Amino acid sequence: MVTLLTVTMIVGIAVVAGALVMRIAGEGGGPSMTEIRVGPGYSVRSVDHGAEDRLVLVLEEKASGEEVVRVYRTAGDAEDYKIVSD
């Protein structure tokens, strides 16, 4: 009984360790996304490139006219990003 429990625990630890290794190795392998989509309920008022990797969007909500400010941290130069309105 103790041997069976020990084997089960060893297999469980190996599975968890393998899952962590595969998850860590899998990150960052895909293409970077350089498109920011704005929903249909908003219109873009202005776009500003903040300090280094910051992109600041000022949006206007179409229904109420309220301004919404969104700050994105980019994975590179903010100038490389494209804003797409739906």
Number of structural domains, the chain? Answer: 2
Cα angle for residues 40, 45, 47 (degrees, 5° grid): 105
Q: Classify residue 49 as exposed, middle or buried by CB count within 10 Å of its CB (0-12, 13-18, 19+).
A: middle
Strand order in the sheet with 67-73: 42-49, 54-61, 67-73
pTM over 0.75: no
Q: Classify residue 23 as exposed, middle or buried by CB count within 10 Å of its CB (0-12, 13-18, 19+).
A: exposed
Domain housing 42 = 32-86
Residue 33 bridge partners (DSSP): none
Same domain, 37 and 26: no
Q: Is the pLDDT of residue 29 over 60?
A: no
Same domain, 63 and 73: yes
Q: Is the pLDDT of residue 15 over 90?
A: yes
Over residues 30-70, the pLDDT tens digits come to 555 778 888 888 999 988 887 777 888 899 998 899 999 99
Same domain, 61 and 82: yes
